[in-house]
Structure 1
Amino acid sequence: MSAAHPIVRPTLAERRKQETRMDIARTAARLFAEYGTAAVTAEQIASESGVALRTFYRYARTKEESVEPMLAAGAQRWLAEIAAGPHRLPIADEFESAAVRSLKLGDSPDDLEITRGLLQAMETDPALRAIWHRINMEAERDLHRTLASLVGSQADLFQLRVTAAAAAGAIRVALELWAASNGPAEGPNSPADLVVRCMRQLHVAD
């Protein structure tokens, strides 16, 4: 029997970098949601994050790109939930429950409101919208790879590709609908509720 692979934990320096990157992302997202992207500068984001402008540009090439960690965090939690499941293609209920758990384990009510404002700001900001679509495309590719790993050599490549696209698309659409409708954080028309409804509408897996 082969030895189990040791768990590789991030170093203290790596954790601090991750925390700094997320602090910058939250600050940028809050400012964009409150004032709009056009009115916010990289210098303002850096100042309110408590870092030098030079440090800001080590974490993001543009002010819009700085929000990426915050927008990607939910997808990363969801992928981790899927990857921890049985070594087979998840059924619809498992996709739904993984999405709901990742939402409940994630953003605070304040973060959800910031995310709402950020998604609303994207309607008039092509650069910010491009970041959102890139994050979702990467999440779809990561989900496809995760599903292929779970299924193994018996994978139906067509089914995996379509399932990954439908599942990732359901979450994106749910969050956009929630932001546009000013729905609550919990209960009917919340992100979790809309994710389940979107997945059922799109018929993710049988």
Structure 2
Amino acid sequence: MTSLRERKKEATRDALRHAAVTLYREHGPQAVTVEDICAKAGVSARTFFNYFETKDEAALFLDVSTEQLRRRIIDRPAPESPLQALRAVFAARLEQVAQSDIFRERTLLLRERPELVPRMTHTNRAFEAAVVAGLAARTGLPDDDIYVRTTAAAAFAAHRTAVTCWQPGEDPGLVTLLHQALDVLERGFTPSRPG
């Protein structure tokens, strides 16, 4: 169970993120300052820098515990194939983040301002590296094995495609889209046939 202090810290982090994303959407990233974000969130600049290094980090980057992600992949039941394990881990993660107003707003921000997408390269690399590490540990293969790298890259692309195709508040939901994208991989990229 999380302590009151930890809950307060998480609430402050969320308030700063929400303020940053909202202001980016309303005014554009160039027009927003750290001071603007702090004023909207009701905190000091010193508090801001306890949580984030830059305004982009507050607006664009999600907390992805790479160690937790790696561990979840490893800890999936042994009979699952690597792709089934990734499906379960990714689905659980997306089910959680799809409930977040910040995630929905950030998704819309990135669609409205695609020039921001390259700024997320570091986060995406860390996420994919955690998947590689989890698959390597799960299969007993080295991190640079072609199977590990290809499976991780394909599953990560399916994850990214699900988020790209998702329309917040509409069907199909984010997790359904993830399953559809991973089904494409499991069918060997053979198109599904209607009926």
Under TM normalisation by the shorter chain, which class is it?
A: 0.7 to 0.9
Residue 86 in structure 1 maps to residue 69 in structure 2: no
Asked if 2 retains the 8 angstrom alpha-carbon contact of 1:81 and 1:102, the reply is no
Equivalences for residues 72-83 of structure 1 within 5 A: 72-73=63-64, 81-83=72-74
The amino acid that maps onto 2:96 is: L
What is the 5 A alignment of 1:170-181?
A: 170-178=158-166
Q: Does residue 1:33 correspond to 2:25, yes or no? A: yes
SS of 2:156's equivalent in the other structure is helix
What is the aligned-residue identity percentage? Answer: 28
- How far residue 123 of structure 1 moved from its aligned partner, in angstroms, is 0.9
Q: Alignment partner for residue 99 of structure 1, among 90, 93, 99? A: 90
Q: Counterpart of 2:19 in structure 1: which amino acid?
A: T
**Other-structure match for 1:4:** none
CA shift for structure 1 position 60? 2.2
- Structure 2 equivalent of residue 110 of structure 1: 101
Any unmatched runs of 5+ in structure 1? 1-8
Matched-pair contact (CA < 8 Å) for 2:34–2:45: yes
Q: Which residue number corresponds to residue 15 of structure 2?
A: 23
Structure 1 residue aligned with 2:50: 58
The one-letter code of the counterpart of 1:151 is T
Q: Tell me: higher relative CO, structure 1 or 2? Use CA pairs within 8 A at least 6 residues apart.
A: 1
Structure 1: distance between partners of 2:19 and 2:130: 27
The question of 1:149 aligning with 2:137 is answered: yes
1:193 aligns to 2:184 (yes or no)? no
- Deviation per CA, 1:106-139: give whole Å up to 9, x if none: 3426334312222214413xxx323322211110
CA separation in 2, counterparts of 1:74 and 1:196? 22
Is this contact kept in 1: 2:136–2:148, CA < 8 A? yes
> Relative to 1, partners in 2 of residues 1:155 and 1:27: Cα closer, same or farther, differing over 3 Å?
closer
Q: 1:49 is matched with which residue?
A: 41
Match among 114, 121, 126 for residue 123 of structure 1: 114
TM-score by length of 1: 0.71
Could you tell me which runs of 5 or more consecutive residues in structure 2 were left unpaired when the two chains were aligned: 189-195
